[in-house]
Amino acid sequence: RKEVEQDPGPFNVPEGATVAFNCTYSNSASQSFFWYRQDCRKEPKLLMSVYSSGNEDGRFTAQLNRASQYISLLIRDSKLSDSATYLCVAPGGADGLTFGKGTHLIIQP
């Protein structure tokens, strides 16, 4: 099983809708999780950390499910500007972290 897996999408979602996607991880001892956002031809930028108790920042909610070993990202009231690729980061790899390959999100007007 790969260390970090994401559905590549694309997820095509109408503006204003709620969208959620998951990221599964294989290292059960994992402590640190993050979501990054990457726009086309740009560098990844940290979106939010994922805490055991969940984390909410405006329209974005990140949650951790240790029993099933996945993290999730929920976007409410989606905007056109939310169109991007969303990368999850979980422990694994040479430096202790592995990036998922990303989920491509397209918000349609």
Partner 1 sequence: DVKVTQSSRYLVKRTGEKVFLECVQDMDHENMFWYRQDPGLGLRLIYFSYDVKMKEKGDIPEGYSVSREKKERFSLILESASTNQTSMYLCASTGGLGIGGYTFGSGTRLTVV
Contact residues toward partner 1 (CB under 8 A) are 32-34, 42-46, 49, 87, 89, 93-97, 99-102
Minimal distance, residue 97 CB to partner 1, in Å: 6
Q: In this complex, which beta carbon is closest to partner 1, that of residue 50 or of residue 107?
A: 50
Residue in 18, 12, 15, 26 with CA at minimum distance from that of residue 109: 15
- Cβ nearer to partner 1, comparing 49 with 108: 49
- Least distance from partner 1 to the Cβ atom of residue 61, Å: 19
Distance of CA 16 to the CA centre of its chain: 19
Cα–Cα separations (whole angstroms), residue 93 to 36, 63, 97: 17, 22, 5
| Residue 12 or 49 with smaller CB distance to partner 1 | 49
Residue whose token pair is 């993050």: 34
